[in-house]
């Protein structure tokens, strides 16, 4: 099934907050949000799930620093457990691969050397495939655990450790992000309006005014030339 991706405006609507709030949360929580080739953010269903849990925790009174500390603690615990689990699985996989290689070697003792070498290469390829599956499953389980544990027992786990930003400071920071977001929108709108203005036809009244002004300037130039000729003639006669 193809995974669905959301732009920041769509993600904000699904979470139920403004776009600038998402940006602020991402920075404070040190979230790794994907970007496309144009540098624009896009969000997965897992990102939406985590951000929704962050919203729920904030509604319960937790500040972002407390949530961030808890997430970092959980990530560390999950990573350590996952590494241990991966090592155990890798050891089992290597043992099974060695046993298969020994069995194949016993069965094929009379096979030419170059064919036995090919069989070993195939076995190494099988082992690599097993490790790839292990790594893929580990990454998926890690992401799922982070998403699930973000909302579990967070309040009791970190409220006693929370020190730092007050609610008022956090609100001011969100307000700065809101103003920044508004400024960016105004700049984009101004560029669009400027581009549209360049494409509009020249106003006819303005054309007439410019033409009249040019005629007046030409008339003044002609008068100056006439006066100059008269003065030159007078000097010659004298």
Output the pLDDT for position 237.
47
**Residue whose structure tokens are 């809101």:** 178
* pLDDT of 92 strictly over 80: no
CA distance 176 to 158: 27
Token couple for 119: 């069989």
Q: How confident is the model at residue 163 (pLDDT cuts 50, 70, 90)?
A: very low
Most confident option among 101-110, 180-189, 199-208, 211-220: 180-189
Q: How confident is the model at residue 144 (pLDDT cuts 50, 70, 90)?
A: low
Report which of 63, 33, 55, 47 is spatially closest to residue 4, judged by C-alpha positions.
Answer: 47
Most confident option among 42-51, 68-77, 85-94, 225-234: 42-51
Q: Which helix (H) or strand (E) holds 119?
A: helix 113-149
Strand intervals (E) in the chain: 34-35, 41-42
Sign of the CA dihedral running 30, 36, 40, 44: negative
CA distance 175 to 172: 5
Length of the chain: 238
Q: How confident is the model at residue 113 (pLDDT cuts 50, 70, 90)?
A: very low
Q: What is the DSSP letter of 43?
A: B
* pLDDT of 85 strictly over 50: yes
Percentage of residues of the chain with pLDDT beyond 70: 48
Output the pLDDT for position 218.
63
Give residue-wise pLDDT tens across range 24-80.
888 888 888 888 888 888 899 988 998 898 888 888 888 888 888 877 887 777 776
Token couple for 109: 């003792």
Mean pLDDT of all residues in 78-103? 68
Sign of the CA dihedral running 49, 144, 29, 61: positive
* pLDDT of 103 strictly over 80: no
Q: For 141-184, give the DSSP string.
A: HHHHHHHHHTTSSHHHHHGGG--S--HHHHHHHHHHHHHHHHHH
Query: CA torsion 52→50→150→17, rounded to 10°?
Result: -30
Q: Do residues 130 and 93 lie in contact, with contact meaning Cβ atoms separated by under 8 Å? A: yes
User: pTM for this structure?
Assistant: 0.41
Output the pLDDT for position 16.
92
Report which of 97, 2, 107, 6 is spatially closest to residue 48, judged by C-alpha positions.
Answer: 6
CA distance 184 to 217: 45
User: Judging by beta carbons within 10 Å of its beta carbon (0-12, 13-18, 19+), is residue 222 exposed, middle or buried?
Assistant: exposed
Most confident option among 45-59, 124-138, 162-176, 204-218: 45-59
Give residue-wise pLDDT tens across range 168-209.
777 777 787 788 778 877 887 888 877 777 665 555 666 667
């Amino acid at each position: 099934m193809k995974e669905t991706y959301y732009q920041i405006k769509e993600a904000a609507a699904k979470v139920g907050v403004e776009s600038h709030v998402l940006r602020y949360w991402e920075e404070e929580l040190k979230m790794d949000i994907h970007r496309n080739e144009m540098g624009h953010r896009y969000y997965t269903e897992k990102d939406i799930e985590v951000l929704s849990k962050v919203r729920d925790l904030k509604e319960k009174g937790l500040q972002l620093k407390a949530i961030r500390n808890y997430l970092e603690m959980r990530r560390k615990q999950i990573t350590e457990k996952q590494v241990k689990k991966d090592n155990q699985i890798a050891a089992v996989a290597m043992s099974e691969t060695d046993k298969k290689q020994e069995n194949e070697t016993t069965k094929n003792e009379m096979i030419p050397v170059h064919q036995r070498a090919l069989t070993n290469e195939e076995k190494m390829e099988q082992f690599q495939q097993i490790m790839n599956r292990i790594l893929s499953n580990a990454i998926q389980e890690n992401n799922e655990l982070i998403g699930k544990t973000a909302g579990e027992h967070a309040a009791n786990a970190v409220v006693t450790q929370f020190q730092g930003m007050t609610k008022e400071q956090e609100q001011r920071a969100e307000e700065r992000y809101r103003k920044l977001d508004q400024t960016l929108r105004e700049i984009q709108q101004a560029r669009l309006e400027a581009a549209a203005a360049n494409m509009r036809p020249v106003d006819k009244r303005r054309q007439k005014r410019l033409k009249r002004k040019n005629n007046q300037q030409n008339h003044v130039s002609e008068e100056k030339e006439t006066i100059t000729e008269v003065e030159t003639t007078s000097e010659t006669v004298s």
